[in-house]
Structure 1
């Protein structure tokens, strides 16, 4: 065991196994074609709470407050954040996400078929897992998520892939915080912004890189918003 390594809770690492055992299977739903997908109850309340507690108690994790910087080059960002690179934990999360996205429901569904087609060639997740905490007054201004190249395994010269979709998993939601929605701004005149206020445990996938919609994290007026972030990786 490596010293000072963040330990993900058992409920998190057991996600792929528990998916097979569970009668309930979370199902993805397209919100905007080829842009935004949500998965309700992707994490159970237990997994969400265990992750938050693990971060708060771990000596290996330090939640740092991002300084509020306003400039033409950077969106205003003010929240607490930390990250850890963990290939084993990423494998567990990726295996679980694959099962959810590619699950055979046993009947025809055009939306689910389209989602399967989109993610059938995905190969991994970004092993840099990030945790965000938004308290009262915290927010992230309008911005685009960039595509990045990341390693696919832990080695001196690992194969690499490129990210194409952002994965956000909301560890708090509903009435646990006021404000704090994820707001998307379509690049079409006359189309109103889409404000998604998550339920606890909901996952949200949105396309990034050249195809990214401008979006923001709405200011939190009350409570705490916790988010686990990764990215879906494809071959370069």
Structure 2
């Protein structure tokens, strides 16, 4: 039997760090050290499914995962996240809400999640679409395993012969999976949608991640 999700408390003075405007933000020390240990123990008590062969158009994912529906866990996390939402851009003006679809990912050494896009998902209870991916890294001692983003290419003005000039891809951005760090990245229907991203191969250690979504 999995253990109960531990008690977690809002933290004063957490800093929201802008990694890429309107797209990527991080918050360190989202869980206290004791909370982090308790949440990791809870995650490790779950029954996880192994990797499946990707369907057409799906990215390869070689780690393990679990998914559970829990409004209780969502509400517990929401109390921590709500004070941070005003620091995000695009501005978050909706009534704060989180998806009750709670996911746990486990990436042992040599596993990864290929390049993909997150899409807005309908929360059936509230009838609201998701807009921000929320990832909380739970484990220390991981080499590799970052979340790497590939910013959208820009299309320039038309050339002399009427053809569009296409600039090269922007430099990729990697968020390292530091234990206790929360990563928020945009996947809403506006603002250009989600950036292409991937979970880099874990070179050593065990990467554990907690996932939910902010609702628009």
- Shorter-chain TM-score bucket reads 0.7 to 0.9
Q: In structure 2, which of residues 102, 107, 111 is the aligned counterpart of residue 129 of structure 1?
A: 102
Structure 1: 5+ residue stretches without partners: 103-111, 152-157
The aligned residue for residue 81 of structure 1 is 65
Q: How far is the alpha carbon of 1:88 from its aligned partner? A: 1.6
Q: In structure 2, which of residues 114, 119, 123 is the aligned counterpart of residue 150 of structure 1?
A: 123
Structure 1 contact 29–39 (Cα < 8 Å) conserved: yes
- RMSD of the TM alignment (CA)? 2.0
Q: In structure 2, which of residues 162, 169, 177 is the aligned counterpart of residue 198 of structure 1?
A: 177
Where in structure 2 are the equivalents of 1:71-220 lying within 5 Å?
73-102=57-86, 112=87, 115=88, 118-151=91-124, 158-173=125-140, 176-188=141-153, 189-210=168-189, 211-220=193-202
**Is residue 2:33 matched to residue 1:54?**
no
Q: How far is the alpha carbon of 1:135 from its aligned partner? A: 0.5
The aligned residue for residue 108 of structure 1 is none
Q: How far is the alpha carbon of 1:72 from its aligned partner? A: 5.2
> Secondary structure of the residue that 1:131 maps to in structure 2?
strand
More helix by share: 1
Structure 2 contact 21–89 (Cα < 8 Å) conserved: no
The aligned residue for residue 165 of structure 2 is none
Q: What is the rounded CA distance, in whole Å, between the counterparts of 1:33 and 1:163 in structure 2?
A: 19
Structure 2 contact 150–197 (Cα < 8 Å) conserved: yes
Q: What is the rounded CA distance, in whole Å, between the counterparts of 1:143 and 1:55 in structure 2?
A: 24
- What TM-score do the two structures reach when normalised by structure 1? 0.78
The aligned residue for residue 66 of structure 1 is 51
- What TM-score do the two structures reach when normalised by structure 2? 0.84
Structure 2: 5+ residue stretches without partners: 154-167
Q: What is the rounded CA distance, in whole Å, between the counterparts of 1:214 and 1:170 in structure 2?
A: 20
Query: Hey, which bits of structure 1, 4+ residues long, moved more than 6 A?
Result: none
